[in-house]
Amino acid sequence: MSHIKNHIGISTTIKLFLIVISLQLSFTSAQTKTNLQVFYNLVDSSVAKINQKITTPDLKINFTTGNYFDVFQNQVISDFLKLGKTVLSDSANNNSDVTRVNYTIDNANIKYGEMERDGFFGDFIMPRKIELSGSYSLSNNIIKAEKFNFTYKDTVAVDKVKVIEYPFYPFTHGEVPSEPFFSSLFEPVVAISSAALAVILFFTIRSK
């Protein structure tokens, strides 16, 4: 009877050991936003800020920027429309109730921090910092020029970088840091130790 109890106890220990390993190896998180999606969100924030300064219902938008940032032009227009504004074309007749919005993106930047393990056996993760800065001016009766700067921070899996970056938009790319030296040295030691423990448990069961 004690032989059966010992066998059950050791089997339970092995199961718990395997469960812990599998939990540590799994990287569980919400679906990570791509870098471009984050930039779109930051553009949304910039438009919301600008809209607070606009008192007229009708707008004309002059989007002056380069470096692939023109991909955000339709987003800016769409955001103003969602906020209840009417966006007029340049050919529309001007009147005193129309505000001209001059919108410029000066910089879109991505920085990845030092990578580390997500748990003892987890995947490599690293902090991500995305910044969007630019300026705008509103011309109606008085011209006002101001700047905007928005930042987004989170943590991403290193092996997801190729998914969250876009090959056609260089500004969605960031420099990925190198793998920590001690982490790469420690992995083989942990793997050997885990294998040795499994062997010890196996022969312990056999001897009971």
Nearest partner of 102 among 39, 149, 50, 55, judged by Cα: 50
> What domain range includes position 160?
31-177
Return d(Cα 180, Cα 174) in angstroms, integer: 18
The pLDDT of 39-46, averaged and rounded, is 98
- Exposure on the CB side of residue 183, measured as CA atoms within 13 A: 15
For residues 40 and 21, membership in a common domain is answered with: no
Higher-confidence residue of 183 and 74: namely 74
For residues 191 and 171, membership in a common domain is answered with: no
Nearest partner of 87 among 97, 73, 77, judged by Cα: 77
pLDDT of residue 23: 41
Tokens of 146: 């101001």
For residues 189 and 104, membership in a common domain is answered with: no
The pLDDT of 30-45, averaged and rounded, is 94
pLDDT bracket for residue 204 (50, 70, 90): low
pLDDT of residue 27: 40
Highest mean pLDDT among 5-9, 10-14, 171-175: 171-175
Number of domains in the chain: 2
pLDDT of residue 88: 93
pLDDT of residue 2: 46
pLDDT digits (tens, 9 = 90+) for 86-132: 999 887 776 668 999 999 999 999 999 999 988 766 789 999 999 99
Tokens of 62: 């002059």
Higher-confidence residue of 47 and 15: namely 47
pLDDT of residue 202: 56
pLDDT digits (tens, 9 = 90+) for 142-191: 777 899 999 999 999 999 999 999 999 999 999 999 887 555 544 554 55
Query: Among 12-16, 57-61, 129-133, where is mean pLDDT lowest?
Result: 12-16
For residues 68 and 165, membership in a common domain is answered with: yes
For residues 5 and 86, membership in a common domain is answered with: no
Which secondary-structure segment (H or E) carries 111?
strand 98-112
pLDDT score of 69 more than 90: yes
Domain of 163, CATH number, reads 3.30.160
pLDDT bracket for residue 208 (50, 70, 90): low
For residues 67 and 132, membership in a common domain is answered with: yes
For residues 35 and 130, membership in a common domain is answered with: yes
pLDDT bracket for residue 5 (50, 70, 90): very low
Residues constituting the chain: 208
Average pLDDT, the chain: 80
- Exposure on the CB side of residue 57, measured as CA atoms within 13 A: 1
DSSP character at residue 92: S
